[in-house]
Chains A and B, each alone.
Chain A
């Protein structure tokens, strides 16, 4: 049973566009939701994270929107650039952080 469901599987946008990646979870005990960016041949890099006590968090061009009642959260990339082309993973964890559940990933291609 997949704890975190991610969509879409792939995404193509033009430079300057705003790609949106969505994730949904079932376990209401989750209270930490990070996003990771992974380039080919590299390990995932922590991008931004949110807790359920806020509905939105911004860091630079990256924004997480969180809907606790719907058990959904999403990543928005403002003014996307070709260098943002990578695979993005959402994840979820309980407060004790002893296990992270990852989504299946979204491959983003930002065209020049």
Chain B
């Protein structure tokens, strides 16, 4: 079975530009979460979506937005990029966020974003 997939693998953008990152969850998983991992630190929660609705939001500015599609894939959008947005962006999927062990999250390989 395919795990969580993310695209692109790497991305280089210039300050002020916009970026869209994509995630496909494990087949059958209905929840997708997005995390930002700065080098040398643990992942920081950005968003969680379940059944196309936002279920949770972390302490990130409004420049960050996301959505989930009917096939449960998801996009993370970041506007007006800053140098500090350079990080590994991780997507995690789970079966059901309130389903006990079904809430366990499985991560994709991430998208490495570099802002110059």
Measured CB to CB, the residues of A under 8 A from B are: 6, 32, 34, 36, 41-46, 49, 89, 91, 93, 95-105
Contact = CB atoms under 8 A, between A and B. Distances in A.
6 contacts: A43-B109, A46-B106, A89-B42, A96-B97, A99-B45, A105-B40
Contact of A99 (B50, B56, B98): B56
Contacts, number: 62
8 closest residue pairs by CB, A with B: A97-B103, A102-B42, A43-B107, A98-B56, A97-B97, A99-B56, A98-B55, A44-B107
Given A43-B110, A102-B35, 13 more contacts: A6-B42, A36-B107, A43-B90, A43-B107, A43-B109, A95-B98, A97-B97, A98-B56, A99-B48, A100-B105, A101-B45, A102-B43, A102-B44
A44 B45 CA distance: 14
Contacts of A98: 48, 50, 55-56, 97
A49 B102 CA distance: 12
B25 interface: no
B58 interface: yes
Contacts of B81: none
A78 B97 CA distance: 31
A76 to B, nearest CB: 20
